[in-house]
């Protein structure tokens, strides 16, 4: 019964950090855009063929359908200059929006390409007002890792030497790589190492009877774990080792022994130091 209570306490403490996420309004009417980022249209949008400097080519405007992805390459006072990645599964869309063929491919008698076609990208302008209100951000999934740093809170640990759930509280500085796992949302996988400051409880059970009255002691620890982060709602699994100071280390049964902790809502406040690469290929929506 005691173990079940402690496990429930761990989950509840984790879920408490999620409460501010509930009911957050999603009513943004425009998107902050930047040159070099990749976006996609939310509705059909008019795009006008242009040169790289934004001057019109004279060709007729086209309609880009919803969810067509593009990268902003430059801007004029009134418009953004964009280019579309190739469609891996639709040659017609690639020819219409992404690249134009300058020199056709050369094939041998067996029909195999011996000299690839020479192509160049197509550019289009979109009015700034249209683009900022009709797009959402698109990210490269499983791209180069970013660096995340922050704090990790571990409220309850499962210890294996003389198996027990302990209410030892850990607050640690964490650092490690993270990978984006969603193209549209802030979903990440973190792999973290942490240096922890702990408050551990010493009692008769975990000191082989050497301490009769329960007392709290400070300990230092190292941790290693992974966290799945879904827009701030987090699920994590950590393991680590704790060490008491020289005076108390011989009395504690868990000195330097591994522990395991799993719960919801590990509080990881992250900042990143690596840029997200643009998307270079898309599939037909």
Chain mean position to CA 268: 12
Q: pLDDT confidence of 230, banded at 50, 70, 90?
A: confident
Structure tokens at 133: 């209100």
Q: What share of the chain is helix, strand, coil (3-state, %, to 5)?
A: 10, 45, 40
Q: Is it the case that residue 12 has pLDDT exceeding 80?
A: no
The model's pLDDT over 161-211, given as tens digits with 9 standing for 90+, comes to: 666 666 677 888 889 999 999 888 889 999 999 999 988 878 777 777 777
Q: How far apart are CA 138 and CA 142, in angstroms?
A: 13
Mean per-residue pLDDT, 44-73: 94
Structure tokens at 126: 């979109």
Average pLDDT of the chain, as a whole number: 79
Q: Is it the case that residue 218 has pLDDT exceeding 70?
A: yes
Mean per-residue pLDDT, 226-240: 87
Mean per-residue pLDDT, 2-21: 38
Q: How far apart are CA 64 and CA 191, in angstroms?
A: 39
Give the pLDDT of residue 163. Answer: 63
Give the pLDDT of residue 76. Answer: 93
Q: How far apart are CA 139 and CA 128, in angstroms?
A: 21
């Amino acid at each position: 019964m005691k173990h079940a209570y402690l496990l429930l306490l761990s989950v509840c403490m984790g879920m408490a950090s999620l409460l501010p996420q509930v009911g957050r309004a999603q009513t943004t009417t425009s998107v902050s855009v930047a040159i070099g980022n990749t976006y996609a249209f939310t509705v059909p949008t008019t795009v006008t063929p242009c040169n790289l400097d934004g001057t019109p080519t004279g060709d007729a405007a086209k309609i880009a359908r919803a969810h067509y992805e593009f990268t902003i390459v430059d801007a004029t006072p009134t418009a953004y200059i964009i280019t579309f990645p190739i469609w891996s599964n639709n040659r017609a869309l690639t020819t219409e929006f992404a690249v134009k063929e300058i020199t056709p491919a050369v094939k041998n008698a067996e029909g195999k390409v011996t000299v690839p076609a020479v192509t160049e990208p197509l550019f289009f302008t979109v009015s700034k007002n249209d683009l900022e209100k009709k797009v959402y951000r698109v990210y490269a999934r499983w791209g180069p890792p970013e660096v995340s740093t922050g704090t990790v809170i571990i409220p309850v640990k499962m210890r294996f030497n003389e198996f027990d759930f302990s209410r030892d509280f850990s607050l640690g500085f964490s650092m490690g790589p993270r990978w984006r796992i969603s193209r549209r949302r802030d979903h990440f996988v973190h792999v973290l190492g942490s240096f922890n400051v702990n408050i551990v409880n010493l009692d008769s059970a975990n000191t082989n009877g050497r301490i009769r009255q329960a007392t709290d002691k400070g300990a230092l620890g190292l941790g290693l774990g992974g966290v799945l982060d879904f827009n701030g709602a987090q699920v994590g699994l950590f393991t680590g080792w704790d060490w008491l100071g020289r005076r108390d280390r011989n009395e504690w049964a868990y000195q330097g022994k591994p522990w395991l902790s799993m719960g919801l809502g590990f509080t990881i406040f992250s900042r990143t130091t690596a840029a997200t690469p643009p998307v270079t290929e898309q599939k037909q929506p």
